[in-house]
Amino acid sequence: MRDLTIFFVIIKEKKYLINSFYYFVLLLTISSCKSGPEKLQYSKDSCAFCKMQLMDKKYGAELVTEKGKVYKFDDTGCMLNYEKQNFGSQKVALELVVDYSNPGQLINVLTAFHIKCAAAYSPMGSNLASFEKEETVNKYIQQLQGEKISWDAIKKSFNK
């Protein structure tokens, strides 16, 4: 009888260890999931809309869903076109664009300053340049011969 009791105690301990191991693996998996913005990797990442490789560090955009899924784009126009075609029920949590004056640096579209100009030769021809600081955008308006445009106006022009 004692052998049978020891057998059940050992089985119970093994089940505890196995369950603990599964919980540990689950916790490790969940904690390693990354949600939120990611750094754009030029010459490696591809645009989610046009499938072209990201090349020009003055341009790029990123869209993050409420579930944390990240989509990368080579042009602000690609992000807006992708969003228009693919996000009916799924909510967008964050839209980011590259600061033209600080290549590769992502900034929030809602706080950024934007200009539309033919001299800003963006990869897919949206001809939009975005800036983090207002004094910087004012300098580039003359240099690129562009005009300020609000994010709402940009979105409306892509949602026609």
Between 21-30, 84-93, 127-136, the lowest mean confidence (pLDDT) is in 21-30
120 assigned to some structural domain: yes
Same-domain check for residues 20 and 87: no
Same-domain check for residues 138 and 69: yes
116 assigned to some structural domain: yes
15 assigned to some structural domain: yes
pLDDT of residue 79: 95
How many independent structural domains does the chain possess?
Answer: 2
Report the mean per-residue pLDDT for the chain: 83
Query: Is the pLDDT at 59 greater than 60, yes or no?
Result: yes
Domain containing 109 equals 61-158
Percent of the chain with pLDDT over 90: 53
Following DSSP, what letter does each residue of 35-76 receive, concatenated?
-S-----TTT-B-TTT-PBP--TT--EEEEETT--EEEESSH
pLDDT band (50, 70, 90) for residue 47: very high
49 assigned to some structural domain: no
Query: Is the pLDDT at 90 greater than 80, yes or no?
Result: no
Residue type, 45: D
Q: What would the mean pLDDT of 121-141 be, rounded to a whole number?
A: 90
122 assigned to some structural domain: yes
45 assigned to some structural domain: no
Same-domain check for residues 79 and 128: yes
For the entire predicted model, the pTM comes to 0.75
What number of CA atoms fall less than 13 Å from residue 148's CA on the CB side?
11
DSSP bridge partners of 98: 106
List of E strands, the chain: 61-65, 70-73, 92-98, 106-108, 113-116, 128-131, 147-149
